[in-house]
């Protein structure tokens, strides 16, 4: 289990290391392009959801508790990038099979 930290430890959410590795790639690419976006995530303790406006001016940390780098699923990255670019922003989607193509023809929203 890893941790996504937005600005301060008070603004952190625990996320599985594998999922967090994929989110890191998506966020890094969006911010590299100066594309701020909304990130909506369920809180692991069942207390609801949190929304973060991800912007390059706010410090972000990705704290991985595992010692191994997870294998990256390119199809999942593409699905998450589509989500981040959509009107509702980035949400954690189920991981597709690696040979599945992203659902580019589905309605986003």
Residue 99: band (very low, low, confident or very high) from pLDDT cuts 50, 70, 90:
low
Q: How many CB atoms lie within 10 A of CB 93?
A: 14
pLDDT in tens, 55-97: 999 999 999 998 888 899 999 999 999 999 999 999 999 999 8
The contacts found for 28-34 with CB under 8 angstroms, 24 or more apart, are: 29/81, 30/54, 30/81, 30/84, 30/85, 31/56, 31/60
The contacts found for 41-49 with CB under 8 angstroms, 24 or more apart, are: 41/4, 41/13, 41/15, 41/91, 41/92, 42/92, 43/13, 44/1, 44/13, 44/14, 44/15
pLDDT in tens, 13-59: 999 999 999 999 999 999 999 999 999 998 867 778 999 999 999 99
| pTM score, whole prediction | 0.84
């Amino acid at each position: 289990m890893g941790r996504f930290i937005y600005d301060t430890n008070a603004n952190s959410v625990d996320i599985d290391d594998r999922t967090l590795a994929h989110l890191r790639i998506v966020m890094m690419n969006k911010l590299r392009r100066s594309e701020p976006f909304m990130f909506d995530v369920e809180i692991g303790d069942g207390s609801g959801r949190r929304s973060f406006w991800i912007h390059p001016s706010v410090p972000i940390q990705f704290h991985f508790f595992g010692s191994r780098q997870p294998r990256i699923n390119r199809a999942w990255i593409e699905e998450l990038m589509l989500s981040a670019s959509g009107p509702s922003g980035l949400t954690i989607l189920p991981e597709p099979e690696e040979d599945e193509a992203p659902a580019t023809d589905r309605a986003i929203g």
